[in-house]
Structure 1
Amino acid sequence: MQADVYERLRAEIVAGVFDAGAPLPEVALADRYGTSRTPVREALRRLEQDGLVERGDRGMRVRGRSPEEILEIYEARIALEATAAGAAAERHTELDLIRVRAAQDAMAASSTDDPMAMAMANRAVHEAIWAAGHNGTIVDLLTRLNNHLTRYPATTLSSTGRWEEALREHEEIITAVGAGDREKAAELAGRHMTKARDIRLRIYREEIIG
């Protein structure tokens, strides 16, 4: 039951059912999901760890969004993505490369009509590269950072030309990883995420301006 409440509440926060800053009273959520307050309390605790909710003056609320936070998240993610790609170039196995290639091929074949499917396909490529580095700490940190970004619903891949550009950049990173070129893989991954940061900031500004 606790896992079910967590998944349902998380999905609704990511989908924008609850706006940034919206209060999340335990009693109301328990009624909404037809459960007691205990599973709700545990779900909120986990979501706080994920960075999706925060403690306010009157209890838990959906975490707010800001350009400063975007910069903070991407500052860390750029560094970690570069490290992960470099580690993948140095430590990958043949099976790792097969999995990375399969994820990239699946992304290339994905429909561009569904932003969520696009984001999931893109994430699968990144996760395959992370896994190829065989560093669980980096994978955990990048997963947490990616969870933070789910509060910003629009995907950067919907920006004009970004989907095709991202696929090309992935190909370059994968080539460097396969060649065992740690420095090149790290450089390309960092550049890839820097572009994503700039697009994310532009999307945020456009949403604020309306």
Structure 2
Amino acid sequence: MAQVKSTNKDAYTLILEAIDVGVFKPGDRLVESDLAERFGVSRTPIREALQRLETQSLLARDGRSLIVSSLDHNQMAELYVVRTELEGLAARLAARHATNEEVRVLQDMVDADHKLVDDPSALARSNRRFHKQIHLASHNRYLVQQLDLVHRSMALMATTSIAAEGRGTDTLIEHQKIVDAIAARDEEGAYNALRDHISQAFVTRLKQESDG
């Protein structure tokens, strides 16, 4: 069935989630009428959602059409600079504010992800959930909002760094270091562990870009 009816999510959220999970990829053309049919909503909220996404630079103009944006090298580098600092801050605050239950959830995520090492797509989705949990554990709503914006832009990258050979295993090792530091209430250690993790992911992406 082509139509995806949802009464709980608005058009903006539906399109944004489709971009985030890779249903719509960088360069894909988004047609108002097709989206209205797909999501089972009228064209007016779809039009408003597309305008909003264009304002946020998640969509770009290609003649009279709107396409999912892509990031050039400089944009990707700028995004990683911001992401590294904000993620590091989230880890620092998580080490300070996370409840014992939140730490347990993070550890359970790492433990469960060992089964996904050979499935890059599933591990990438789990990786997003892991980072989101750290954001929430920071207990700072404004930081969470900014990181949500950063991660929306991350969806504009055509591939995931986790898909690189050996990156899945390295990712889990790095995640464990982050969780260990948060559990130990080591704010500086958590900050550095998460910054190092993002830095390694960036290096992997640069190599993917050069190989491409």
Per the normalisation by structure 1, the TM-score is 0.83
Measured against aligned partners, the alpha-carbon deviations of 1:48-81 in whole angstroms (never above 9, x if no partner) come to 3664213566353321321111101111000001
Query: Which residue pairs with 2:125 in the alignment?
Result: 120
1:11 to 13, 18, 22: 18
Measured against aligned partners, the alpha-carbon deviations of 1:173-202 in whole angstroms (never above 9, x if no partner) come to 111111111111101111110111111122
Structure 1 residues 69 and 5, CA gap change in structure 2 (3 angstroms):
closer
1:99 aligns with 2:105: yes
1:165 aligns with 2:170: yes
Amino acid in the other structure paired with 1:102: D
SS at match of 1:109: helix
1:131 aligns with 2:168: no
Q: Cα offset for 1:6? A: 5.2
> CA separation in 1, counterparts of 2:168 and 2:84?
19
Deviates further, 147-156 or 70-79: 147-156
Query: Which residue pairs with 1:155 in the alignment?
Result: 160
> CA separation in 1, counterparts of 2:127 and 2:33?
37
RMSD: 2.7
The answer as to whether partners of 1:89 and 1:178 remain within 8 angstroms in 2 is yes
User: Percent identity of the aligned residues?
Assistant: 32
Query: Which residue pairs with 1:194 in the alignment?
Result: 199
1:81 to 82, 87, 91: 87
Q: Cα offset for 1:9? A: 7.3
Structure 1 residues 33 and 192, CA gap change in structure 2 (3 angstroms):
closer
> CA separation in 1, counterparts of 2:64 and 2:129?
38
Structure 1 residues 83 and 60, CA gap change in structure 2 (3 angstroms):
same
The answer as to whether partners of 1:89 and 1:182 remain within 8 angstroms in 2 is yes
> CA separation in 2, counterparts of 1:177 and 1:31?
45
Q: Cα offset for 1:7? A: 2.2
> CA separation in 1, counterparts of 2:167 and 2:150?
21
Q: Cα offset for 1:122? A: 1.2
Aligned pair count?
A: 205
The answer as to whether partners of 1:104 and 1:170 remain within 8 angstroms in 2 is yes
Amino acid in the other structure paired with 2:10: A
Measured against aligned partners, the alpha-carbon deviations of 1:154-188 in whole angstroms (never above 9, x if no partner) come to 11111111111111111111111111111111011
Q: Cα offset for 1:42? A: 2.7
Structure 1 residues 121 and 41, CA gap change in structure 2 (3 angstroms):
same
- For structure 2, the residue ranges without an aligned partner over 5 or more in a row are 1-5
Measured against aligned partners, the alpha-carbon deviations of 1:5-47 in whole angstroms (never above 9, x if no partner) come to 8525752685365652x55453565567675421321331343
Amino acid in the other structure paired with 1:11: A
Structure 1 residues 18 and 81, CA gap change in structure 2 (3 angstroms):
closer
- For structure 1, the residue ranges without an aligned partner over 5 or more in a row are none
